[in-house]
C-alpha cells in the first residue's frame, strides 16, 4: 500500500503519483492525523482486554452487565465463524470471545466482572434446570 503525503489518501502499490495533486506517493499506509493518534493513546480511549471467555454468549452477557454500570465494552468473537453468523452457530464450534473496555474504566470493569462471575443464578419459576441424570 502507498499513500500521498499531501492528501493522505491510500493507493495500490502499482500507483506512483497521486491522481488528485500529482505528488509522488510514499510506501506504507497514511499516518493517522495527530488528534486521532493522541486519542488512540489517551487513557480515556485506549482499549484494553478485560477478559477472555470460553463461550461468546458469556461475552454478550458481560457486555450488557458493563453497560448497566455505564461502562462501554466491545466483544470480539474468535473462531472459525465470527460476526452475526457466530451468534447463530454459538456452541457448534470451538469459539471464544475477548471483552474489551477503555483503560480508564478497567478497574470498575473488573469489579463488574467479579460480581457477574460470583452471582448466584436465579432461574425463573418452571425454568429450573433438571439435575437428574436420566440416561436413554
User: Per the structure, how many domains does the chain have?
Assistant: 2
68 neighbors 14 (Cβ within 8 angstroms): no
Q: What pTM did the predictor assign? A: 0.54
Task: Clarify whether residues 7 and 58 are in a common domain.
Answer: no
What's the average model confidence in pLDDT over 111-116?
92
- For 37-68, what is each residue's pLDDT tens digit? 555 566 677 888 999 988 888 889 999 999 99
- pLDDT score, position 123: 76
From 40, 53, 57, select the one nearest 102 (Cα to Cα). Answer: 40
Does the pLDDT at position 36 exceed 80? no
Task: Clarify whether residues 23 and 62 are in a common domain.
Answer: no
Task: Clarify whether residues 108 and 60 are in a common domain.
Answer: yes
Is 84 within the bounds of a domain? yes
Higher-pLDDT residue of 25 and 29 is 25
What CATH number should be reported for the domain holding residue 63?
3.30.70
Q: How many other C-beta atoms lie within 10 A of the C-beta of residue 78?
A: 13
34 neighbors 69 (Cβ within 8 angstroms): no
Task: Clarify whether residues 67 and 105 are in a common domain.
Answer: yes
Task: Provide the domain limits for residue 24.
Answer: 1-29
- pLDDT score, position 105: 92
Task: Clarify whether residues 5 and 58 are in a common domain.
Answer: no
- For 81-113, what is each residue's pLDDT tens digit? 555 555 555 555 567 888 999 989 999 999 999
Q: How far is CA 52 from CA 57, 62, 77, in A?
A: 12, 11, 10
Task: Clarify whether residues 5 and 59 are in a common domain.
Answer: no
Is 136 within the bounds of a domain? no
Task: Clarify whether residues 22 and 52 are in a common domain.
Answer: no
Task: Clarify whether residues 2 and 55 are in a common domain.
Answer: no
Is 135 within the bounds of a domain? no
Q: Write down the H helix ranges in 42-105.
A: 56-68, 83-88
Given pLDDT bands bounded at 50, 70 and 90, which one contains residue 131? low
- pLDDT score, position 89: 54
Higher-pLDDT residue of 133 and 21 is 21
Amino acid at each position: 500500500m502507498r499513500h500521498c503525503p499531501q492528501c493522505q489518501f491510500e493507493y495500490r502499490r502499482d500507483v506512483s503519483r497521486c491522481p488528485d495533486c500529482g505528488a509522488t506517493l510514499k510506501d506504507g499506509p497514511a499516518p493517522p492525523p495527530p488528534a486521532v493518534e493522541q486519542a488512540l493513546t489517551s487513557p480515556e480511549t485506549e482499549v484494553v482486554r478485560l477478559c477472555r471467555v470460553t463461550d461468546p454468549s458469556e461475552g454478550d452477557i458481560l457486555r450488557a452487565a458493563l453497560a448497566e454500570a455505564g461502562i462501554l465494552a466491545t466483544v470480539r468473537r474468535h473462531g472459525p465463524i465470527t460476526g452475526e453468523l457466530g451468534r447463530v452457530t454459538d456452541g457448534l464450534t470451538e469459539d471464544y470471545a475477548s471483552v474489551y473496555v477503555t483503560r480508564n474504566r478497567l478497574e470498575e470493569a473488573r469489579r463488574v466482572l467479579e460480581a457477574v462471575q460470583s452471582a448466584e443464578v436465579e432461574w425463573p419459576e418452571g425454568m429450573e434446570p433438571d439435575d437428574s441424570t436420566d440416561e436413554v
